[in-house]
Amino acid sequence: MHSFPYSGRQRPTTPLAVILGTNEIASAVAVNLYRSGYFVVLSHDPLPPVIRRKMAFHDVLFDDPVTIAGVEAWRADNGLAILSRLGRSKDVIITDLGLSI
């Protein structure tokens, strides 16, 4: 059984930000939102290229560990993995699921 940060109709107490992209700009935004108290999920967008490898959370999609400014990233391959990881300390979630509208 997974423990989730909230359940049922109870409103979440921590805001969730979903960022389209895993490049260096998206990663910088994710670090700032994380430091502001958000749960952060980055969704890979194949259109903008990732130019600065090792400066972006994108490398997590290839199973390379990434820490940027003290914030770690964790790969989630499905929705249940994303939900089970929300609320864990010191990490943002990276996925290649298409979470765009």
- Write down the pLDDT at residue 7: 54
Q: What is the pLDDT of residues 17-34, one digit of tens each?
A: 999 989 989 999 999 999
- Write down the pLDDT at residue 3: 47
- Write down the pLDDT at residue 12: 59
Q: pTM of the predicted model, to two decimals?
A: 0.78
Is the Cβ–Cβ distance between 89 and 35 less than 8 Å?
no
Rounded Cα gap, residues 73 and 27, in angstroms: 10
Residues of the chain with confidence (pLDDT) below 50: 1-3
- Write down the pLDDT at residue 10: 61
Rounded Cα gap, residues 65 and 80, in angstroms: 21
- Write down the pLDDT at residue 85: 85
